[in-house]
Structure 1
Amino acid sequence: MNPIPENKIHCRDALRFTEGMPSESVDLVICDGPYGVTTHEWDQVANIQEFNLGLIERFSRVMKPGAALYLFGKCDCVDFVDYRPFLDLATKIVWYQPSRLAQGRRSYTNNYDIICYFTKGRVDQFNLDDIRVAQLVELEHRRRCENVPSVKNGRYGKTAFNEKGKNPGDVWGDIKQLTYKSKELLSRELLNTVQKPEKLIERLVRASSSEGDLVYDPFCGSGTVPAVCTRLNRRFVACEQNPEYAKIARQRIKATAKAERQLSLL
């Protein structure tokens, strides 16, 4: 297969586009595709688990050994299907949003999305120092805890307080969803369903790729992943079937590249 042109938005169907990509060519996949829960045409999926299983199989082929996949969805997005022949599920990250306005009438309101973190075999890179968050425990209290005999002599006795910050863990409540007042929101139509915060995508990109790596975004929407990759010096391949979204994404990438050039001249 011929190499796919990089650093551009391909206005194509994601499934067919992925099938045409070279094997073991991608360092990271970030997939924010259908959730199967809204009335949008692009979200009409008969069975979201089977749909995601098909994605996982396709992504596994194009991912390099040790590469990572972040797959967005709701709590059951990969339940009831066997993804193990293709990728390993390292963890499910909970993106916690307590400020959501929807109020359940017969059950509890859903206040989180899931980001499934898959790897192709043993993970090649996890850049913890690039994604550390502030410690929530005072230094003196942490040091006292470290000296407790059961901790000091236990399994995690060598774990020490790191002044650079801590691992963000698998529940992320520090990154808020976009609102109508968010400066980076491109249009109201994109709110919540299409456009994710750059800060959220940046954490994924920084954690699982390095400068010069190739990131694949099969459902790029308004171009958040390509914009972040442009800013962080990652190569990208992006696909978006909706011509209007693809146009927005291209304009966004150009604006981001221009801003980065101006910063480099300062």
Structure 2
Amino acid sequence: MIFEINTIICGDSHDLIGKVADKSIDLIVCDGPYGVTQHDWDKVLSIQEYNLDLIKQFSAKLKDGGALYLFGKPDCIDFIDYRPYLNLRSKIVWYQPSRLAQGRLSYTNNYDIICYFIKGNSPRCFNLDDIRVAQLVELEHRLRCENVPSVTNGRYGKTKFNDKGKNPGDVWGDIKQLTYKSKELVSRNALNTIQKPEKLIERLILASSNEGDLVLDPFAGVSTCPVVCKRHLRNFIAFEINPEFVAAGNERLKALEYGQNVIRLSNGA
């Protein structure tokens, strides 16, 4: 089946993913079940086996060099062999020190994992200049370090100071979770478990796709990924089983087209 691009399709992603044409997708952003809450959509017997099944399916749909970003908790891909299907390049830590939940018998989990996979050995693209962040090291100290021979004339020459900023690395604490007061929040029901900040999804899309590329979002929620794709001239295919969220996503896309503010659901903040 060939899906109409730039459309949010209401249906079960497990039924729909198989109908996506093989080797047609440039980037997949998968923010699906974590296997840690009591929501019906999050109840899975084994999140590791669940994710392995997704990885197998996604591998067939990605173009060579295409990327997958898979969201989860720290153990989301432990004890499974994903290597026959995709190449894990990084485990990005999305650090959230302000989480309200506090562990009483162990240390509080203050981060999520974003697993960055590619199909094959080399990414189709990694647009570093589009995702650089401000230098945190004092400029004077940085310039002093650059005077050492290994930087000026040696193997570390590419580490020199860049006016556009530095690589964000694999620990991201500069993008905060949404709160009830966040202007982009669509629904209280989507807070923390479903809706991610646009800045977070934007970094993934800008890094691993180019204008005109096709992005697959198999668990679209309230369609943050499609909104970011549209803003940055990427094409998308999105699946979402909740018709209320599909309607909210379509309203967000329409609002973006007309330069309006986010549309909140009736139960939104």
Query: Could you tell me the TM-score, scaled by structure 1's length?
Result: 0.94
Q: Name the aligned partner's letter for residue 211 of structure 1.
A: E
Contact 2:68 2:117 in 1 (8 A): yes
Identity of aligned residues (%): 67
- Mapped to 2, the partners of 1:210 and 1:222 lie a distance apart of 23
Assess if the C-alpha contact under 8 Å between 2:151 and 2:159 holds in 1: no
Is the contact between residue 18 and residue 58 of structure 1 (CA under 8 Å) also seen in structure 2? yes
- Residue 257 of structure 1 deviates from its aligned partner by 1.9
Deviation at 1:138, TM superposition (A): 2.2
Counterpart position of 1:171: 171
Contact 2:49 2:80 in 1 (8 A): yes
**1:148: how far off?**
2.9
Which 4+ residue blocks in structure 1 deviate beyond 6 angstroms? none
Specify the alignment match of 1:146 in structure 2: 146
SS of 1:91's partner is strand
Q: What secondary structure sits across from 2:71 in the alignment? A: strand
2:91 is paired with a residue of what secondary structure?
strand
Q: C-alpha offsets along residues 50-70 of structure 1, whole Å, 9 cap, x if unaligned?
A: 000000010010100010000
- Give the Å deviation of 1:153: 6.5
Separation (CA, whole Å) in 1 of partners of 2:251 and 2:91: 33
Task: Spell out, residue by residue over 1:10-58, the C-alpha distance to the aligned partner (whole angstroms, 9 max, x if none).
Answer: 1111111010110000000000000000010100011000000000010
For residues 22 and 150 of structure 2, the distance between their equivalents in structure 1, rounded to whole angstroms, comes to 49
Structure-2 separation of matches of 1:83 and 1:256 = 37
What is the aligned partner in structure 1 of residue 210 from structure 2?
210
Aligned residues: CA RMSD? 1.3
- SS at the partner of 2:159? coil
The equivalent residue for 1:23 is: 22
| Residues 186-225 of structure 1: pairs in structure 2 closer than 5 A | 186-225=186-225
Structure 2 unmatched ranges of 5 or more: 261-269
Q: Which amino acid aligns with 2:237?
A: V
The answer to whether the Cα contact below 8 Å between 1:213 and 1:234 also exists between their aligned partners in 2 is: yes
Q: Which amino acid aligns with 1:54?
A: D
Structure 2 CA distance for partners of 1:243 and 1:158, relative to 1, 3 Å: closer
Shift of 1:139: 2.2
Deviation at 1:258, TM superposition (A): 2.0
- Tell me, yes or no, if the aligned pair for 1:152 and 1:158 is still in contact at 8 Å: no
Q: CA deviation at 1:79?
A: 0.7
Q: Residues 150-199 of structure 1, C-alpha deviation per residue, up to 9 Å, x if partnerless?
A: 65566424421101100000000000000011000012111100100000
1:1-266 equivalences in 2 (<5 Å)? 2-121=1-120, 122-149=122-149, 155-259=155-259
Partner Cα separation in structure 1 for residue 186 and residue 9 of structure 2: 20
Provide the rounded CA distance (Å) in 2 between the counterparts of 1:158 and 1:69.
27
Q: What is the alpha-carbon distance in structure 1 between the residues aligned to residue 158 and residue 257 of structure 2? A: 43
Q: Which residue of 2 aligns with 1:263?
A: none
> Aligned pair count?
259
Give the match's secondary structure for 2:258: helix
SS at match of 1:259: coil
**Letter paired with 1:113:** D
The Cα shift of 1:82 comes to 0.3
